[in-house]
Amino acid sequence: MSIQFFAFDTPNGRKISVALEEMGLPYDVHVVDITQNQQFDPAFLAISPNNKIPAIVDPDGPGGQPISVFESGAILLYLAEKTGQFMPADPAGRVAVHEWLMFQMGGFGPMPGQVHHFIALQDETERRYGLQRFMAETRRLYGVMDRRLAACTYFAGDSLSVADFAILGWAWRHPRHQVDLADFPHVQRWYQALMARPGVARGFAVALK
Ligand SMILES: N[C@@H](CCC(=O)N[C@@H](CS)C(=O)NCC(=O)O)C(=O)O
């Protein structure tokens, strides 16, 4: 039975469309238009209590019972566990996936997200303060990623993992947070390699609005 996938065309939504395509899982898309406040519909809140996309419902969850999952990091870990894909078998590799997934969820998402917010403000004083603070932090995070990818092919080491899908969702928006990937050559190499994958291309082509 198909996974029911609730999302909109945003970095957090794209992480999951990319993962579902790369894993070859059957799924149905339900667009939740967050510009129309559909994330507050009671039926959606029942599966995503924090009123944010993405969320999934898997009719074939643990023990064959349906399960809903919210929070994109939790969804990626759930899908990796369900399929046995994009999660290394060795314990040290799994620790690396968890590290870089948490790095994304706690930093490389919230920080560029603030750039996206402040860049749209009209008030110049508020805009300047927010951009100064959050663009600097976003660039610092790109520096952290660049150093990691100078040493490893992928974030968790030699093999592609769900941590890469999580980070890719936000790196995809680099023009919007005004980062030139040429300034971070290892991130650029990684980004181009991932975007050239057919599964990733399909994930970004899924209609989410
Ligand atoms: N930590 C959450 C963040 C999800 C999130 O911020 N989703 C945004 C779109 S990218 C959203 O649904 N916003 C609607 C709202 O805040 O009301 C995750 O990674 O799933």
Q: Which residues of 150-175 are buried (b: 16+ CB within 10 A; e: fewer)?
A: eebebbbbebbbbbbbbbbbbbbbbe
Decide: pTM greater than 0.85. yes
> What angle do helix axes 198-205 and 11-23 make, rounded to 10 degrees?
130
The pLDDT value given to residue 49: 98
Tokens of 69: 């999952």
User: What is the chain's mean pLDDT, rounded?
Assistant: 98
Which of 53, 114, 172, 176 has the most ligand 1 atoms within 8 A of CB, as the residue to mutate?
53
Q: Which residue CA neighbors atom 2 of ligand 1 most closely?
A: 71
pLDDT tens by residue, 4-48? 999 999 999 999 999 999 999 999 999 999 999 999 999 999 999
pLDDT tens by residue, 106-154? 999 999 999 999 999 999 999 999 999 999 999 999 999 999 999 999 9
Cβ of 91: how many Cβ atoms within 10 Å?
8
Strands 67-70, 27-31: pairing is unpaired
Strands 3-7, 55-58: pairing is antiparallel
Phi-psi region of 51 (alpha: psi -120 to 50; beta: other; left: phi over 0): left
**For residue 12, which atom of ligand 1 is closest to its CA?**
10
Strands 55-58, 67-70: pairing is antiparallel
Dihedral over Cα of 20, 21, 22, 25: its sign: positive
Distance between CA atoms of 156 and 159, rounded to whole angstroms?
7
pLDDT above 90 covers a percentage of the chain that reads 100
Distance between CA atoms of 200 and 82, rounded to whole angstroms?
19
